[in-house]
Amino acid sequence: MHYKTTYHSPLGKMTLASDGQNLTGLWIDGQKHAESTLGRRIEEKSDLAIFKQTKNWLERYFRGARPAIAELPLAPAGGAFRQAVWKILREIPYGQVITYGEIAKQIAREKGLAKMSAQAVGQAVGHNPISVIIPCHRVVGANGNLTGYAGGIHLKIRLLAHEGITMDNFFIPRQGTAR
């Protein structure tokens, strides 16, 4: 059984999901792949402890605090490769960014591979089921390319600016350009 509730953030309505103990999803209204990892049995239940913890975490984050990701028990559903990518996302410091290529190189090193596809990393980042908390907004393309945010580039820019990242070195690519 999965449970869900909503939270009204400065970015708009968010849906939070849980298995009863862990946070399994957090999607901004209109986000691609929203709720795709939930099963068929979903019950609205706003009084779960994990939802209260998550809302408190989000309130502090949006007020400008830097709550630790480790404060929340997270259980995003995904295969081993996606889990490896999401683990790296959790390690990106507040107010900093990393490229898809840098993540690919890190995974290649960890797996003893000559190289890893940045595009494959982009797919995993784009399917992150716990937006904002697992900070996929902190991943950018090569040379400052602001691409690949399931909630929309406008929200990625708002989140990066919220964290104090200046937009001077970033750009939005024309439609159809690669990462």
Q: Can 32 be counted among the known catalytic residues?
A: no
Residue-level pLDDT at 41: 75
**Which tokens hold the place of 159?**
């989140």
Q: Give the residue, 15 or 172, on which the prediction is more confident.
A: 15
- pLDDT on residue 178: 47
Based on DSSP, count helices (H) and strands (E) in the chain, helices before strands: 5, 6
pLDDT (mean) for 82-104: 96
Closest C-alpha to 38, from 72, 75, 71: 75
Closest CA to 140 of 157, 117, 128: 157
pLDDT > 50? residue 177: no
- At residue 25, the pLDDT reads 94
The DSSP secondary-structure symbol of 124 reads: H
Count Cβ neighbours within 10 Å for each residue of 142-170 and write b for 16 or more, e otherwise. eeebbbbbbbeeebbbebbebbebeeeeb
Maximum average pLDDT range among 32-46, 80-94, 145-159? 80-94
Q: Is 74 helix (H, G, I), strand (E, B) or coil?
A: strand
Label residues 8-33 b or e (16+ Cβ within 10 Å = b): ebebeebbbbbbeeebbbbbbeebee
| Residue 53 binned pLDDT confidence (cut-offs 50, 70, 90) | very high
What gap in Å lies between CA 176 and CA 17, rounded to an integer? 33
Distance from C-alpha of 5 to C-alpha of 143, rounded to nearest angstrom:
38
Per-residue pLDDT, averaged over 25-45, amounts to 75
Quickly state the pLDDT bin for 33 (edges 50, 70, 90): low
Mean pLDDT of 164-179: 74
Range in 17-31, 57-71, 81-95, 161-175 the model is least confident about = 161-175
**DSSP assignment letter at 136:** G
Catalytic annotation, pick one of 58, 136, 155, 159: 136
Mean pLDDT score of the chain, rounded to an integer?
A: 90
Residue with the larger pLDDT of the pair 5 and 31: 5
